[in-house]
Chains A and B, each alone.
Chain A
Amino acid sequence: MNGSVIGRGTVVRGNVRGSGSLEILGRVEGDVSVSGELVIGEDGAVRGSVSGSHITCSGAVQGDVRGSDAVLLERGARVVGDLTAPRIGVATGALVKGLVRTDGEPALGASRRPATGAARPIAFPARAVAPAPKAEPREDTGDSEPPEPKAAREAPPPPVVPVLAKGAKAKKKRKDD
């Protein structure tokens, strides 16, 4: 495996680039560009633009994030800068301040003009959340069951169990009293 790690106790002041994957658990003050997967850990921080194929961020980034495949912001991620990737996922608990754009959309023809960025800030929350199939199941497991409607019809009893449990507890309490 050709994986690089910038450890928790390490600070890089300068640019990091190259092939292969990179995991940032420490701090980088400069631009980061890798051809492979990029993981920014919980305590990881980057001050500069970030690019990679598949970027998973749980840490802090102050700069633009560009993924050629996907950008996923996990819970606890803090990004101040623009997000660009064909697939973008933002989990609940992640903070974003900037323009979020899923690449390859003909509707957004006027790209790379900083002046137009402020004109459509409302668009990005909806876009950001919609194509996030990987990030969602962890957060809200209760809502992610629509693909099996038949199973749901055939199995109605689950609500009964907690009711019985409550009754049992109540009886026990009465006995104890």
Chain B
Amino acid sequence: MAGTVIGEGLSIEGDLSSEEEVVVQGNLRGKLTTTDAVSVGSSAVIEADVSAQSLTIAGQVTGDVTAAERVDLQAGGRLIGDVKAARLTIADGASFKGNVDMDV
């Protein structure tokens, strides 16, 4: 079970910092930081810089994204912002606008 779940219909305005997995299905505006994984569900709308160990995006993210491990942009996902991660996958059908820095 994920440690923190922001369900559909819930919205947070402000900073969320965590040491556990965060699943977002609702709205978040501000900043999201965790040392664990972040999963952005298909119903989620995030306007925030996101920093995590790994990040899976199936919803909408507007903001810069940093992951220590990897970023997976899934089909139907939408990301507007820069990505800084060691690994990045963009699935067919995903929308993405921004720079990629893979630390080469």
Q: Spell out A's residues near B (CB within 8 Å).
A: 2-20, 22, 26, 30, 34
Contact of A7 (CB < 8 Å), options: B3, B8, B15, B26: B3
**How big is chain B's contact interface, by range?**
20 to 34
User: Given known contacts A7-B18, A7-B20, A12-B15, is B4 in contact with A17 (CB within 8 Å)?
Assistant: no
Residue contact B12 to A20, C-beta cutoff 8 Å: no
> What's the Cα separation between A6 and B26 when bound, in Å?
13
Residue contact B7 to A10, C-beta cutoff 8 Å: no
Residue contact A4 to B6, C-beta cutoff 8 Å: yes
Residue contact B10 to A11, C-beta cutoff 8 Å: no
Contact of A11 (CB < 8 Å), options: B3, B5, B13, B18: B18
Residue contact A2 to B7, C-beta cutoff 8 Å: yes
Residue contact B4 to A6, C-beta cutoff 8 Å: yes
Contact of A10 (CB < 8 Å), options: B8, B11, B20: B20
Using CB atoms, name the residue of chain B closest to A4.
B7
Q: What would 5 more interface pairs be, CB under 8 Å, given A11-B16, A20-B8?
A: A8-B20, A13-B14, A14-B12, A14-B14, A20-B10
Q: Spell out B's residues near A (CB within 8 Å).
A: 2-20, 22, 26-27, 30, 34
> What's the Cα separation between A9 and B11 when bound, in Å?
19
CB pairs A–B below 8 angstroms (9 shown): A3-B7, A4-B5, A4-B26, A9-B19, A9-B20, A10-B3, A10-B17, A10-B19, A26-B18
User: Given known contacts A4-B5, A9-B3, A10-B3, is B18 in contact with A16 (CB within 8 Å)?
Assistant: no
Question: With contacts defined as CB atoms under 8 Å apart, how many contacts are there between chain A and chain B in the complex?
Answer: 82
Contact residues in A for B34 (Cβ distance below 8 Å)? 10
Contact residues in A for B14 (Cβ distance below 8 Å)? 12-15, 30
Minimum CB–CB distance from A152 to chain B (whole Å) comes to 45
Contact residues in B for A12 (Cβ distance below 8 Å)? 12, 14-16
Using CB atoms, name the residue of chain B closest to A10.
B18
Minimum CB–CB distance from B56 to chain A (whole Å) comes to 18
Contact residues in A for B17 (Cβ distance below 8 Å)? 10-11, 13
Contact residues in A for B3 (Cβ distance below 8 Å)? 5, 7-10
Contact residues in A for B4 (Cβ distance below 8 Å)? 5-7, 9-10, 26
> What's the Cα separation between A174 and B58 when bound, in Å?
76
Contact of B18 (CB < 8 Å), options: A9, A15, A20: A9
Contact residues in A for B19 (Cβ distance below 8 Å)? 9-10
> What's the Cα separation between A20 and B26 when bound, in Å?
11
Minimum CB–CB distance from B45 to chain A (whole Å) comes to 12
Residue contact A15 to B13, C-beta cutoff 8 Å: yes
